């Protein structure tokens, strides 16, 4: 029996290392405002951004605001320093950078774009990506090679699933400057098809890119991307133009800090406990660097200090991403930039201010208690041979990690609001058809990782008797006397605070939302329900739930989906309750932005990665407001009163988030005490404006009552 709270298994780590330009600058600084008026050739410029950036703090810092209807701006709470200040906006090119100290009045001149091509350089990626011509709907189902698409491709949506959220866009943005143009550093090529073929073989993500392309017919897909690049190189421009920020969008204040490493990337970040957003007030922000490094980045947003701590493993045989196959890249040459044993994916705060992760802590082969023949309650029902990711916890007070070996694979994690402080974990994908959990109360009382963990398959109550019975396996004929196990992997995960049920998103095409009810004695009592995405929607990714139990999920079809189980009219179990039984529970709303070329169905070219619900009004728009990552719109998108509000990040170009959370630092401080936190989450930070060496950014959004509020 393994106990992690004994000294042998409590991993002490070195004190965090600060990447500061000057350690003496670590103390909080006094702040001041910067204000003025932006005018252009035709008078005041409304709805444009004023950007102030400095390198005089311990880490690079920038703050961005929007002008009001009279061109006025006010940048609040700038740390005392010297700044480069300039104007950026749609229809403009960047104004010359002006040096100014915080505390000054500074009027600025906007510069009108000399032509449409110059203006389009600042457009969000979605306007460029929408120019991609995809196979016509009439080409599906595939008629077989060599004259048609593969027969396994049954619909245009299935093809789009792989070129959007659950394929290419799952790792990085498409449509930005670097991806819409051909690579310069890989050598000469006779055709753009050759250049694109070589591009997708570059770097340590080569295997994933080849896999995704293969699923949608690599030859056809590369030809379409090449044709897209050729048209852009010949001068073709987007047919749509973005609107400048309007209404409440002009009240947004964006703050950015550099963190991480130039050869690493961030998956996401965390600032507080999702169940109580006052936890860790004004405290460090933590990041998950996934495949790129074992060094967990941290940011002190009060002192503007970026630092890091190394996440350990407990098994020297734990694999490393450094061994992933690759061809030389235009950025890193033949040297693999990524080197991570932990492949640390996702993280959450608990109520005590500790940070929980889903990392790899050992070799994937499971110990005996996970396998067939074990007396573990979960292993007796569904034995597990391998687990690619596990669980860890970092305590900022002791600066120690606890490493928890789980039999089940982990991907995303969420805490329940129950007496056991249960930690629920999704498996992500790859045939891992279970949900896992850690009974935190038992774990912390005993240190026994074996007894504290459990997992379960997803079993539908198809015989309708209200309890879990023997079940038929997936693909086998139904038995009216048995339940049915479904082969489903959940990706996003969330706990309904009302009834304790756990929900997850199944991201395969056409995809589904799954409900898991643990019952009184899981796994023996656990039952599931499945609700499949109705057309024209398909393929969810990361999802969340509000405090009324409504599930919100982004779809690869370019919709924000909500599912309200309370609207279901028919039985929720029994032989007919296998996924198509509650279409009335769904609402699909198209995301902002144009659609991909040749797509006539409802939706958008947007490929939103994740949805988060602001359950506690941490932003200022109200409780239970869903936010989706605008990965193509270069924004976070709030959905309220039937419309989207875009929280854009105009600089550096290439904003791409994979998650977010809201924190209340001071409930009495109004908008200044609240904020929405995220990070640039692209696997390719060198695709951002600035190129190779550009660091990922922590991003904080605040919402003022008006554009000039102090």
pLDDT per position as a tens digit, 108-164: 999 999 999 999 999 999 999 999 999 999 999 999 888 889 999 999 999 999 999
Q: Is residue 68 part of a domain?
A: yes
Q: Is 127 in contact with 593 (CB distance < 8 Å)?
A: yes
pLDDT in tens, 454-476: 999 999 999 999 999 999 999 99
Q: Which CATH number goes with the domain that contains 33?
A: 2.60.40.1120
Q: Is residue 532 part of a domain?
A: no
Same domain for 136 and 193, yes or no, is yes
Please determine, for residue 3, whether its predicted confidence score (pLDDT) is greater than 60.
Answer: no
Same domain for 73 and 145, yes or no, is no
Q: What is the pTM of this model?
A: 0.95
Q: Is 178 in contact with 164 (CB distance < 8 Å)?
A: no
pLDDT in tens, 206-252: 898 888 888 888 999 999 999 999 999 999 999 999 999 999 999 99
Q: How confident is the model at residue 508 (pLDDT cuts 50, 70, 90)?
A: confident
Q: Which of residues 209, 233, 257 is at a domain's end?
A: 233
Q: Is residue 43 part of a domain?
A: yes
Please determine, for residue 675, whether its predicted confidence score (pLDDT) is greater than 60.
Answer: yes
Q: How confident is the model at residue 14 (pLDDT cuts 50, 70, 90)?
A: very low
Cβ-based neighbour number of residue 436 at 10 Å:
28
Mean pLDDT of the chain: 94
How far is residue 72 from each of residues 36, 305, 344, 708, measured CA to CA in Å? 6, 31, 44, 8
Token digits for 212? 């995704």
pLDDT for 472 equals 97
Indicate the range of 303-312, 348-357, 427-436, 541-550 predicted with least confidence. 427-436
Q: Is residue 338 part of a domain?
A: no
Task: Give how many domains the chain has, as a whole number.
Answer: 2
> Sheet containing 453-456: which strands, arranged edge to edge?
413-415, 423-425, 435-438, 453-456
Give me the mean pLDDT over the 424-445 stretch.
Answer: 92
Q: Which of 336, 175, 357 is nearest to 264 (CA)?
A: 336
Same domain for 152 and 229, yes or no, is yes
**Element at 179 (helix H, strand E):** helix 177-180
Q: How confident is the model at residue 75 (pLDDT cuts 50, 70, 90)?
A: very high
In whole angstroms, give the CA distance from residue 480 to residue 464. 9
Q: Is residue 291 part of a domain?
A: no
pLDDT for 27 equals 60
pLDDT for 25 equals 42
Domain span including residue 47: 17-120
Q: Is 586 in contact with 560 (CB distance < 8 Å)?
A: no
pLDDT for 2 equals 38
Please determine, for residue 6, whether its predicted confidence score (pLDDT) is greater than 80.
Answer: no
Please determine, for residue 447, whether its predicted confidence score (pLDDT) is greater than 60.
Answer: yes
Q: Which of 529, 479, 483 is nearest to 502 (CA)?
A: 529
Q: Is 178 in contact with 687 (CB distance < 8 Å)?
A: yes
Same domain for 87 and 143, yes or no, is no
Same domain for 81 and 112, yes or no, is yes
Alpha helices in 321-446 (DSSP H): 377-381, 440-446
Same domain for 106 and 139, yes or no, is no
Please list, residue by residue across 369-402, b when 16 or more beta carbons sit within 10 angstroms of its beta carbon and e when fewer do.
Answer: bbbeebebebbebbbbeebbbbbbbbebeeeebb
pLDDT for 23 equals 36
Q: Which of residues 199, 233, 267 is at a domain's end?
A: 233
Same domain for 84 and 60, yes or no, is yes
Residue with more model confidence, 18 or 215: 215
Q: Which of residues 206, 233, 260 is at a domain's end?
A: 233
Indicate the range of 12-21, 178-187, 238-247, 411-420 predicted with least confidence. 12-21
Q: Before 164, cis peptide (omega within 30)?
A: no
pLDDT for 214 equals 87
Q: Is 156 in contact with 134 (CB distance < 8 Å)?
A: yes
Same domain for 114 and 200, yes or no, is no
pLDDT for 37 equals 98
Q: Is residue 493 part of a domain?
A: no
Tell me what percent of the residues of the chain surpass a pLDDT of 70: 96
In whole angstroms, give the CA distance from residue 560 to residue 626. 9
How far is residue 236 from each of residues 76, 127, 293, measured CA to CA in Å? 40, 12, 39
pLDDT for 272 equals 98
Give me the mean pLDDT over the 303-309 stretch.
Answer: 98
Q: Which of 244, 252, 390 is nearest to 314 (CA)?
A: 390
pLDDT for 26 equals 52
108's CB contacts (< 8 A; 6+ apart) are 36, 37, 38, 39, 50, 85, 86, 87, 95, 98
Give me the mean pLDDT over the 434-453 stretch.
Answer: 97
What is the radius of gyration, based on Cα positions, of the chain? Answer: 25
Same domain for 93 and 178, yes or no, is no
Same domain for 94 and 27, yes or no, is yes
Q: Is residue 108 part of a domain?
A: yes
547's CB contacts (< 8 A; 6+ apart) are 497, 498, 615, 623, 624
Residue with more model confidence, 17 or 663: 663
Same domain for 116 and 139, yes or no, is no
Cβ-based neighbour number of residue 281 at 10 Å:
15
Same domain for 107 and 136, yes or no, is no
Token digits for 27? 């103390």
Q: Is residue 144 part of a domain?
A: yes
């Amino acid at each position: 029996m393994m106990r992690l709270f004994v000294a042998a298994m409590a991993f002490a780590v070195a004190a965090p290392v600060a990447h500061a330009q000057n350690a003496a600058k670590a103390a909080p600084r006094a702040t001041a405002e910067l204000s003025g008026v932006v005018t252009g050739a035709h008078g005041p410029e409304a709805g444009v951004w004023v950007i102030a950036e400095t390198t005089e703090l311990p880490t690079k810092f920038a703050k961005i605001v929007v002008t009001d209807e009279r061109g006025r701006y006010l940048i609040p709470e700038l740390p005392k320093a010297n700044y480069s200040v300039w104007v950026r906006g749609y229809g403009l090119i960047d104004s010359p950078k002006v040096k100014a100290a915080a505390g000054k009045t500074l009027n600025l001149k906007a510069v009108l774009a000399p032509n449409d091509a110059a203006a389009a350089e600042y457009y969000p990626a979605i306007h460029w990506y929408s120019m991609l011509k995809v196979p016509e709907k009439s080409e599906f189902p595939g008629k077989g090679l060599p004259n048609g698409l593969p027969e396994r491709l049954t619909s245009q949506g299935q093809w789009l699933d792989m070129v959007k959220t659950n394929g290419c866009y799952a790792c990085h943005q498409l449509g930005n400057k670097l991806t819409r143009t051909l690579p310069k550093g890989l050598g000469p090529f006779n055709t753009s098809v050759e250049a694109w073929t070589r591009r997708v073989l570059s770097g340590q993500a080569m295997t994933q890119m080849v896999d995704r392309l293969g699923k949608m017919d690599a030859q056809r897909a590369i030809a379409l991307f090449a044709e897209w690049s050729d048209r852009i190189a010949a001068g073709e421009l987007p047919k749509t133009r973005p609107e400048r920020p309007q209404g409440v969008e002009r009240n947004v204040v964006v703050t950015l800090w550099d963190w991480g490493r130039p050869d690493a990337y961030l998956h996401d970040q965390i600032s507080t406990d999702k169940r109580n957003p006052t936890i860790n007030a004004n405290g460090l922000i933590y990041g998950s660097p996934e495949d790129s490094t074992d060094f967990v980045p941290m940011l002190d947003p009060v002192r503007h200090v970026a630092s890091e701590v190394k996440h350990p493993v407990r098994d020297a045989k734990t694999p490393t991403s450094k061994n992933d196959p690759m061809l030389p890249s235009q950025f890193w040459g033949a040297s693999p930039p990524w080197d991570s044993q932990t492949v640390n994916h996702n993280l959450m705060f608990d109520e005590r201010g500790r940070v929980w992760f889903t990392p790899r802590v050992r070799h994937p082969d499971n110990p005996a208690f996970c396998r067939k023949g074990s007396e573990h309650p979960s292993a007796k029902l569904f034995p597990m041979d391998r687990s690619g990711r596990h669980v860890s916890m970092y305590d900022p007070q002791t600066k120690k990690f606890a490493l928890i070996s789980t039999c089940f694979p982990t991907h995303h994690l969420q805490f329940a609001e129950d007496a056991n402080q249960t930690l629920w974990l999704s498996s992500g994908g790859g045939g891992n058809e279970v949900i896992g959990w850690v009974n935190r109360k038992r774990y912390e009382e005993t240190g026994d990782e074996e007894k504290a963990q459990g997992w379960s398959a997803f079993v539908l109550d198809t015989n309708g008797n209200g309890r879990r019975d023997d079940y038929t396996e997936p693909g086998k004929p139904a038995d009216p006397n048995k339940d049915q196990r479904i082969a489903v992997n959940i990706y996003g995960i969330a706990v309904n605070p009302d009834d304790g049920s756990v929900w997850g998103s199944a991201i395969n095409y056409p995809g589904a939302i799954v409900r898991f009810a643990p019952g009184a004695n899981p796994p023996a009592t656990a039952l599931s329900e499945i609700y499949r995405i109705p057309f024209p929607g398909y393929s969810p990714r990361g999802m969340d739930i509000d405090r009324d139990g409504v599930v919100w999920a982004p779809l690869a079809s370019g919709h924000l989906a909500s599912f309200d189980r309370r609207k279901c009219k028919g039985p929720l179990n029994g032989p007919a309750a296998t996924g198509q039984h509650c279409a009335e529970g769904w609402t699909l709303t198209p995301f902002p932005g144009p659609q991909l070329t040749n797509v006539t169905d409802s939706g958008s070219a947007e490929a939103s990665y994740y949805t988060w619900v602001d359950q506690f009004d941490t932003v200022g728009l109200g409780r239970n407001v869903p936010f989706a990552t605008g990965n193509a719109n270069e924004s976070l998108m709030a959905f309220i009163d039937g419309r989207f509000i875009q929280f854009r990040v105009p600089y550096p170009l290439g904003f791409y988030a994979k998650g977010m959370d809201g924190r209340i630092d001071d409930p009495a401080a109004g908008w200044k005490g609240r904020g929405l936190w995220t990070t640039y989450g692209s696997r390719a930070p060198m695709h951002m404006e600035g190129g190779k060496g550009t660091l990922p950014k922590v991003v904080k959004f605040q919402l003022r009552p008006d554009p000039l509020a102090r």
